[in-house]
Structure 1
Amino acid sequence: QPAAPTAAPAPAEPAPPANTPTPEPPAAAGAVNAGPCGGDDGCKFKIRGGPTKRSNGGGELKFQLFFIHSGVDGGQPQGDYRLGIEKDGQLITRFADATSIALNRNDGPMGAYNYEAKINASELPGGSVAGAYFFWVLDGNRERDSEVFRLDLAPDEGEVWIEFDQG
């Protein structure tokens, strides 16, 4: 007598790989030009104040930044630091070419600063200040010295103030 038909066995679920580490997100998530942290001391700068945004009509993008070391004289202004910033994957070199001034403190409408740089909106990718920006601190060797941060600006928010602390 023929054997009764049997159901085909269900395919076995593949076992998950043992001890497979989850890949870490890229250090510069969203930023194409940031590169790794430089030097032997890692990314020192952290945001201590801001970002504070202010309307200026949107005709230009201006950054006033204060680079300090809170462990020296209660917040000594630090020199030769810059801002790496990109929009739509394009590095805006004007901000990396300006540098902070050591031991210098200017009082601005949003806070103290020792770095100021600006660019006409027409020179920005998309021709407007509106959009998503990725930015990071660059040291005197133009190596990244902070994490990568994101900043979203509305069409009229053309002034930005941030305090960075390496202490």
Structure 2
Amino acid sequence: MSKVHVKMTINGRAVEALVEPRTLLIHFLREQVGLTGAHIGCDTSHCGACTVDLNAMSVKSCTLFAVQANGAEITTIEGMASPDGALHPLQEGFRQMHGLQCGYCTPGMIMRAHRLLKENPNPTEDEIRSGISGNLCRCTGYQNIVKSIQYAAATINGAPYQEAAE
């Protein structure tokens, strides 16, 4: 099978490669680029473990071919921390608010939450739950995931995090 030349920007870095036309973006990222943060969970777009940001949209990279991402700007979980290693507010939120258990869903959950907060900087709990509904946590840590996203939203907006009264 003949290979196709692709060029894209991943986490601010220009990447060029030859790929088979049927190579999924998740496999390209993990196997050819060496970015293994996005996980392969279901291969059917149901779990969201493979979520990345592509041209300012959340996408499940297990349902997109690498050739479809030609020319794209992609951010993966590896691109969320600042170059000096400081965690992104979402990463810090997941750490502070115990938003992860086994961690398998965490990269995709953070990437989806990243786009959610770009689209809605101050979401309600219901908006957060709706916004991450395409990403599954098998450990059922949703309450702390929601708190983690609320923490990040407050931090990004320059406000102290205040846990909602139950």
TM-score class normalised by the smaller sequence: under 0.3
User: What is the TM-score when the length of structure 1 is the normalising length?
Assistant: 0.23
User: What is the TM-score when the length of structure 2 is the normalising length?
Assistant: 0.23
> Which of the pair is proportionally richer in strand?
1
| More contact order relative to length (CA 8 Å, sep ≥ 6) | 1
> Which of the pair is proportionally richer in helix?
2
Rg larger for: 1
